């Protein structure tokens, strides 16, 4: 007997309620998923409404500079009226600067004897590289271990004594003099920069002298050995000192700070200036980071600024404000070269002086795109609600319901959204834009979907009545965006329809899971009981069969003996 199949059939017959509960769980999960989709779409709709509340959205402008050669850029504010503007820029803003004295570095030597001036450590603006250079057709090889006096000797030896070199400590320059014709320096295959470092250039004469002083500030060395000619006298015993620029104090140490690190400190400070060094003139400068006729003050209690040539001997080059006019009006000034007309809010950023027409026109592209996005997100919500709650007639009296068919709360959500979008905005009645239909947006006949039914009306309203359209959407008390957003926040909140329904469905599923588990335990026990009974039956059957066989054998044996 195939009792195992019989047991399976008996247990499956008792499992019908469990199958029904599992089917109900699947349906509940589908409803939870549908509610989650609606919530996601409502949040997307709320996001589109947030974009519609951007304060600049309905006041955007396009600006066009007529004279493109000037390289100007222009922009209008929310208050800038449309139209052409003639802008004349007669002066650009320039930053104030403090120009230090030139040649702040000490000379190469205090005397004409430069035998102790090594090329490896000579305090010139650029380091000397080893190599060869030509002079009057002769090759001179220099090494960084050479002194400057050694090089003079090599020049004399290479030219047979016709060219001699000398250093003048009074001018901090060297001279090369030929006793036979002009001095001719350099060749295309020179491998050292000696001639350029010492500022020696051909001049078609018998004597070539450095074009400027040679000693320079050494930016990478500590202040105490940076070759600054001026003394830094106002520091304490440990070498600490301070100075201030535009009232901002800057500290330094002569032993640990280099000239470059001091420049970095100035630039990173709140002084609002840029400090720089010009290797050509051996000069430091301070320039305001902000253009315009503004001051640039220094206070030097340490002597460092004086040593850098930025003290009393420096020159303050005052800044200047930009000057401009709009439509031939009064001259206006600006600290920066972004020039804003106070009366219209028109702004022009100028890189050069000149005159140009600037055309300002409304730009409704952003507003139109934002409205289209709102319509698309609104329609997505309505389509989902309609599809999830619809009932489809079948054959005869049979009907088919969607996953949320019969859910009146979800249907009411769609109805409320339609009412909010369709009705006139309270408080705006009588205004030129009190409802969506006022500027060409209406419902598609026979549906809950919105559409731009009159594009011309929309573009016209955005170009000529943007303030009214903005008020319709953005009024903080009763604007469309605020009204729908408040409703969405309620519907999607922790106490809203979507949350409460989802919570109820989840609780039902939890209960069903417990019931299914209990039933499964019961069916397992039932299966075990049936199995035990049938196993016992098989055992009895086997015993009876064995006894029958034994009886048969016994009777057959007795019959044979009798015969």
Tell me: pLDDT of 8 over 80. no
User: 């803003």: which residue's tokens?
Assistant: 93
Are residues 374 and 352 both part of a single domain? no
CA atoms within 13 A on the CB side of 116: 6
Same domain, 370 and 326: no
Give 432's DSSP letter.
S
239 part of a folded domain? no
| pLDDT score recorded for residue 435 | 86
**pLDDT > 90? residue 176:** yes
Indicate whether 464 and 491 sit together in one domain. yes
Check whether residue 370 and residue 341 sit in a common domain: no
Work out the average pLDDT over 305-314.
Answer: 93
pLDDT of residue 117: 96
Q: Quick check: is 231 in a domain?
A: no
State residue 46 phi and psi, 5-degree precision.
-60, -40
Categorize the per-residue pLDDT at 563 as very low, low, confident or very high, splitting at 50, 70 and 90: low
Choice among 276-280, 329-333, 353-357, 549-553 with the minimum mean pLDDT: 549-553
Which residue among 209, 224, 258 closes a domain?
209
Helices (H), 312-400: 365-389
Among 167, 193, 209, the domain-final residue is 209
- For position 25, what pLDDT does the model report? 92
Query: Do 488 and 379 reside in the same domain of the chain?
Result: yes
277 within a domain of the structure (yes/no): no
Domain count for the chain, please give it: 3
Q: Is residue 43 part of a domain?
A: yes
Question: Per-residue confidence at 263, pLDDT binned at 50, 70, 90?
Answer: very high
Q: What pLDDT does residue 86 have?
A: 96
Mean pLDDT of the 226-240 span: 94
Q: Is the pLDDT of residue 317 over 60?
A: yes
Mark whether 348 and 374 lie in a shared domain: no
Strand order in the sheet with 97-99: 273-278, 283-288, 97-99, 315-317
Using one digit for the tens of pLDDT, what is the confidence trace for 147-173?
Answer: 999 999 999 999 999 999 999 999 999
Both 404 and 480 in one domain: the answer is yes
Q: Is residue 179 part of a domain?
A: yes
The answer to the question of residue 39 being in a domain is yes
Report percent pLDDT > 70 for the chain. Answer: 97
Residue 70, pLDDT above cutoff 90: yes
Identify whether residues 342 and 373 lie together within a single domain.
no
Residue 377 vs residue 557, higher pLDDT: 377
**% of residues, the chain, pLDDT over 90:** 72
Residue 425: inside a domain? yes
Q: With CA atoms as reference, report the closest residue to 382 among 423, 420, 417, 422.
A: 417
Instruction: Map residue 563 onto helix, strand or coil.
Output: coil
Confidence label for 560 from pLDDT (cuts 50, 70 and 90): low
Residues 328 and 445 in one domain: no
Query: For 318, what's the count of Cα atoms within 13 Å in the CB-facing half-sphere?
Result: 4
Query: What predicted TM-score, i.e. pTM, was given to this entire model?
Result: 0.65
Sheet-wide strand order for 347-349? 73-75, 347-349, 338-340
Answer yes or no: is 561 within a domain: no
For residues 72 and 191, membership in a common domain is answered with: no
Which of 498, 522, 554 terminates a domain? The answer is 498
Contact 288, 294 (CB under 8 A): yes
**Region 262-285: what's the mean pLDDT?**
96
Neighbours of 120 (CB within 10 A): 12
Mean pLDDT of the chain: 91
Q: Average pLDDT for residues 277-304, to the nearest whole number? A: 95
- Tens of pLDDT, residues 492-534: 999 999 999 999 999 999 999 999 888 888 888 878 888 888 7
Of 335, 319, 329, 367, give the one whose Cα is nearest residue 465. Answer: 367
Per the structure, the complete domain to which residue 194 belongs is given by 131-209
* Tens of pLDDT, residues 379-417: 999 999 999 999 888 766 677 889 999 899 999 999 999
Whether residue 442 is found in the same domain as residue 457? yes
Q: Answer yes or no: are the C-beta atoms of 243 and 305 closer than 8 Å.
A: yes
pLDDT at 429 over 60: no
Residues 6 or more apart whose Cβ sits within 8 Å of residue 320: 91, 92, 93, 94, 292, 293
Specify the 3-state DSSP secondary structure of 460. helix
Between 186 and 313, the more confident residue is 186
Q: Domain check: are 37 and 146 in the same one?
A: no
- pLDDT value at residue 562: 63
Using CA atoms, how far apart are residues 108 and 212, in angstroms rounded to an integer? 12
**Quick one: pLDDT at residue 3?**
72
């Amino acid at each position: 007997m195939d009792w195992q199949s019989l047991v399976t059939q008996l247990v499956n017959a008792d499992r019908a309620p469990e199958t029904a509960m599992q089917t109900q769980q699947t349906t509940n999960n589908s409803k939870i998923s549908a509610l989650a989709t609606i919530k996601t779409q409502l949040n997307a709709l709320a996001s589109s409404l947030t974009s519609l509340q951007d304060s600049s959205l309905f006041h955007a402008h396009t600006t066009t500079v007529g004279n493109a050669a000037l390289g100007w850029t222009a922009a209008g504010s929310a208050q800038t009226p449309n139209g052409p503007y003639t802008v004349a820029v007669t002066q650009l803003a320039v930053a104030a600067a403090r120009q230090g004295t030139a040649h702040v570095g000490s000379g190469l030597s205090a005397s004409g004897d430069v035998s102790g001036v090594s090329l490896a450590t000579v305090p010139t603006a650029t380091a000397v590289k080893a190599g060869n250079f030509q002079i009057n057709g002769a090759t001179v090889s220099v090494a960084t271990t050479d002194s400057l006096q050694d090089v003079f000797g090599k020049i004399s030896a290479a030219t047979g004594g016709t060219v001699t070199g000398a250093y003048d400590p009074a001018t901090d320059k060297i001279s090369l003099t030929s006793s036979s014709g002009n001095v001719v320096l350099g060749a295309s295959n020179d491998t050292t920069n000696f001639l350029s470092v010492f500022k020696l250039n051909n001049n078609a004469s018998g004597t070539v002298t450095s074009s400027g002083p040679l000693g320079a500030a050494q930016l990478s060395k500590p202040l105490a050995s940076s070759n600054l000619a001026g003394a830094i006298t106002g520091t304490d015993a440990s070498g600490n000192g301070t100075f201030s620029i535009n009232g901002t104090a800057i500290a330094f140490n002569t032993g640990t700070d280099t000239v470059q690190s001091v420049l970095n400190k100035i630039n990173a400070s709140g002084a609002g200036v840029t400090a720089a060094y010009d290797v050509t003139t051996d000069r430091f400068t301070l320039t305001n980071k902000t253009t315009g006729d503004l001051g640039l003050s220094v206070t030097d209690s340490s002597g460092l600024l004086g040593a850098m040539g930025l003290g009393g001997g420096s020159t303050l080059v005052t800044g200047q404000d930009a000057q401009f006019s709009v439509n031939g009006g009064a001259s206006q000034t600006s600290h920066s070269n972004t020039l804003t007309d106070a009366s219209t809010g028109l702004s022009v950023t100028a890189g050069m002086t000149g005159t140009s027409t600037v055309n300002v026109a409304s730009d409704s592209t952003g507003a139109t795109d934002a409205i289209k996005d709102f319509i698309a997100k609104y329609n997505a919500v309505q389509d989902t609600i309609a599809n999830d709650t619809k009932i489809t007639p079948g054959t005869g009296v049979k009907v088919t319901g969607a996953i949320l068919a019969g859910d009146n709360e979800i249907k009411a959500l769609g109805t409320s959204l339609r009412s909010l979008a369709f009705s006139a905005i309270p408080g705006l009645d009588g205004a030129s834009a009190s409802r969506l239909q006022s500027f060409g947006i209406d419902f598609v006949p026979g549906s809950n979907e919105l559409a731009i039914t009159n594009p011309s009306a929309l573009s016209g309203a955005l170009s000529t009545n943007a303030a009214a359209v903005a008020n319709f959407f953005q009024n903080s008390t009763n604007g469309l965006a605020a009204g729908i957003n408040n409703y969405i926040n309620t519907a999607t909140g922790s106490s809203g329809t979507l949350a409460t329904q989802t919570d109820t469905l989840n609780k039902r599923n939890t209960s069903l899971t417990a019931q299914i588990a209990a039933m499964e335990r019961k069916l397992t026990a039932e299966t075990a009981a049936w199995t035990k009974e049938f196993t016992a039956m098989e055992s009895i059957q086997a015993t009876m069969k064995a006894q029958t066989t034994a009886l048969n054998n016994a009777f057959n044996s007795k019959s044979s003996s009798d015969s």
